Amino acid sequence: MASRRSTLGSIACLACAGLFGAPRARATTTPVSRTTLTPDQAIARLLDGNRRFVADDPTPIDAGAGRRERLAAGQAPFATIICCADSRAPPETLVQAGLGEVFVARVAGNTIPPVDLATVAYGVEALGTPAVMVLGHEACGAVTAAVEVVTRGAIIPPIMQPMLGPIIFAVNAVRNQPGDLVDNAVRENAKAGARSLIRNPDFAEKIRVGTLKVVAARYDLHAGKIELLEL
């Protein structure tokens, strides 16, 4: 664990130093400090931001010149979000987050392929995010396509098939449950992603001692609300 943290920390330092093509910070810029929020506080902050979004609260987010200047030296987000690439569900907007506040990985169907698993690890280990949210959403196109494959034998272009593999497992897991199959699969897919992170040995110790929490959630396109799902 120590070796992995050291490696990720080194990568973060290299990135901040500009060795990966990132712009160098000005000498007068002080890096932002890592979040001091607990996992529960971080999740509560995400949900509070979503409540403001639903209420059309005009509270401005922190995205001004001063914030950009501080972030030029590095980032310290308070949460990691794994979510769908759907244009209707931009996570920073849904939780009213400003620049540098949430670390986001987006992929159609909010699955967690190896590259996104590495992204979660970077957020947790190198950046110190104490909470990870796996966020699905109502009427997900990727989930709908997976349902069509399972129930109708729909043919999906080969280039898109890797995206659907994990989602098909979620569809099959809830296929015989009452209710709408697409929405049931959306929920199961998010929960399956969260459970996979919780079972991952790389995160087990942090979860055990309470410095990391992983949750699953569903975003409602109509109401704008993020709902936590029971794992």
- Stretch 98-119: mean pLDDT: 95
Given a cut of 70, whether residue 16 has pLDDT beyond it is no
The phi and psi torsions of 159 (rounded to 5 degrees) equal -65, -20
- Stretch 184-203: mean pLDDT: 97
CA distance 169 to 199: 17
Given a cut of 60, whether residue 7 has pLDDT beyond it is no
- Stretch 36-43: mean pLDDT: 98
CA distance 101 to 40: 16
Which of 218, 223, 229 lies closest to 91, judged by CA? 218
> Which amino acid is located at 44 in the chain?
A
In the DSSP assignment, the letter for residue 109 is T
- Stretch 189-209: mean pLDDT: 97
Confidence of residue 117 (pLDDT cuts 50, 70, 90): very high
Q: 216 in helix, strand or coil?
A: strand
Which of 124, 90, 86, 88 lies closest to 107, judged by CA? 86
CA distance 109 to 137: 9
Residue 10 CB neighbour total at 10 angstroms: 11
The phi and psi torsions of 215 (rounded to 5 degrees) equal -130, 160
CA distance 172 to 159: 22
Write down the pLDDT at residue 25. 41
pTM of the predicted model, to two decimals?
Answer: 0.87
**Domain 2-229 fold:** Beta-carbonic Anhydrase; Chain A (3.40.1050)
